Amino acid sequence: MTRLTRIGGPAGFVVLVAAVLLAPLVFSHYRTYQLAFVAVYLIALVGLNILTGYTGQISLGHGAFMGVGAYTTTILVVDHGWRDLWTIPVAGVVAGLIGLAFGLPATRFAGPYLALATFAIPLSFIGILKRFPHFTGGNIGKSLPQLHAELGVQANPSLWFYAVTWTVALVMFPLAYLVVRGRFGRSLRAVRDSEIASTANGVSTAAVKAAAFGVSAFFCGVAGALYAIGITYVNPDTFPIDLSILLLVGIVLGGAGSLGGMLFGALFVEFIRISWGPALLGVFSSVHHINKNAPGSGLVVYGVVLLLVLYAAPSGAAGLARRATGAATRFRRGKDASLSDPSLV
């Protein structure tokens, strides 16, 4: 009961839509461009959350599914002359199918073994990109057309990109809500809470996990398509292993198993990657010597943030918000508010 109300509500969605509408009026074009990437990460996190938060399966490889989506879009646009917008669903389907294909055998693993198996995805993805340079552009990658408003709309490219990403995000968000809400969502959570109990109750855990893998990869593929459109360039370096780990950190920070919390996760992912991460790394290395030259030294920042979150707010931003609203309601009404928890953030 409470789990259902926790995943968000129509009121929260309306607030989100209003915020999305108002943001471009308040922020500069560059911030708008940056917020567009928040939408991109939101889509990816919401998708990964179906697998990690609701089904309890950790993936260290979903950045590669973003990569699959991004490359699908790029190759269709650059080599086959597609209009970029039309490639978005195709990118999602391609990534989803690959995710499903990977999920079918891989989900026979449980717990940490699955996580290790997923770690192979970004590793082999980068290898494949380099193995077929005529198809993927190899190391030097491929450039997409510059951002521009389409469909006869006259708008600044950043605003156009913002509108596109958030339109897609606001479609994908309720879609995720529908996925985790019904019968399928119940079996996801059953698998998470106890594989043995769910098997005993007639749920095929392998099938459920594989399906969750496919759905989450579909979301990441859509996000990747938008990512490529926004960055206007793909090469193997644009989908490093760090990205997959960062997505997982975003999930934990937002609050695994909460849809609304993913918004915080997405904001975190975008801003830590571009603005805060390098600065924080500088601070850390001045306090305690860190070899900034080492590959993946940026991961130190994610690691510290992850530990802090697990220590201070194990249920992420969503959990904090729940506690805050819960406390406020209790304070107002003078009684326990857990039964009428209105939270949705």
Q: Interface with other proteins by CB under 8 A: which residues?
A: 10, 13-14, 17, 20-21, 24-25, 28-31, 33-34, 37, 126, 130, 138-141, 143, 146, 149, 153-156, 158-160, 162-163, 166-167, 170-171, 174, 177, 227, 231-233, 235-238, 240, 273-274, 278, 281, 292-298
Query: Cβ closer to other proteins: 51 or 344?
Result: 344
- Tell me how far, at minimum, the Cβ of 147 lies from other proteins, in Å: 8
Between 90 and 155, CB nearer to other proteins = 155
Give the 3-state secondary structure of residue 80. Answer: helix
Q: How far is the CB of 334 from other proteins (least distance, A)?
A: 31
Give the shortest CB-92-to-other proteins separation in angstroms: 18
Burial class of residue 155 in the structure, from the number of CB atoms within 10 Å of its CB (0-12 exposed, 13-18 middle, 19+ buried): middle
- Give the Cβ contact number of residue 228 at 10 Å: 30
Q: How far is the CB of 322 from other proteins (least distance, A)?
A: 22
- Alpha-carbon span 233 to 24, nearest angstrom: 24
- Supply the minimum distance, in Å, between the C-beta of residue 38 and other proteins: 12
H-state helical runs in the chain: 2-6, 10-26, 29-49, 62-80, 84-106, 111-131, 133-136, 157-181, 183-193, 195-200, 205-231, 241-254, 261-271, 277-287, 299-312, 316-333
Alpha-carbon distances of 26 from 19, 29, 35, 274, 327, rounded to whole Å: 10, 10, 12, 21, 31
Task: Closer to other proteins by CB, 162 or 268: give it.
Answer: 162
- 74's tokens: 């790029």
Q: How far is the CB of 232 from other proteins (least distance, A)?
A: 7
CA distance 136 to 35: 28
C-alpha 333/C-alpha 83 separation (Å) is 55
Token digits of residue 109? 């693993």
Q: 233-234 and 142-143 as β-strands: parallel, antiparallel, unpaired?
A: antiparallel
Q: Report yes or no: 105 and 206 within 8 Å, Cβ to Cβ.
A: no
Q: Report, in Å, the least distance between residue 190 CB and other proteins.
A: 24
Phi, psi of 341 (to 5 degrees): -60, 115
CB 96 to other proteins: min, Å: 21
Q: Measured from the CB atom, is 13 or 104 closer to other proteins?
A: 13
Q: Which of 325, 316, 330, 328 is nearest to 344 (CA)?
A: 325
Residue placing its CB nearer to other proteins in the complex, 199 or 232: 232
Q: How far is the CB of 121 from other proteins (least distance, A)?
A: 15
Side-chain-facing half-sphere of 312: CA atoms under 13 Å: 9
Residue (103 or 137) nearer to other proteins, CB: 137
Considering beta carbons, is residue 25 or 196 the nearer one to other proteins?
25
DSSP state of 8: -
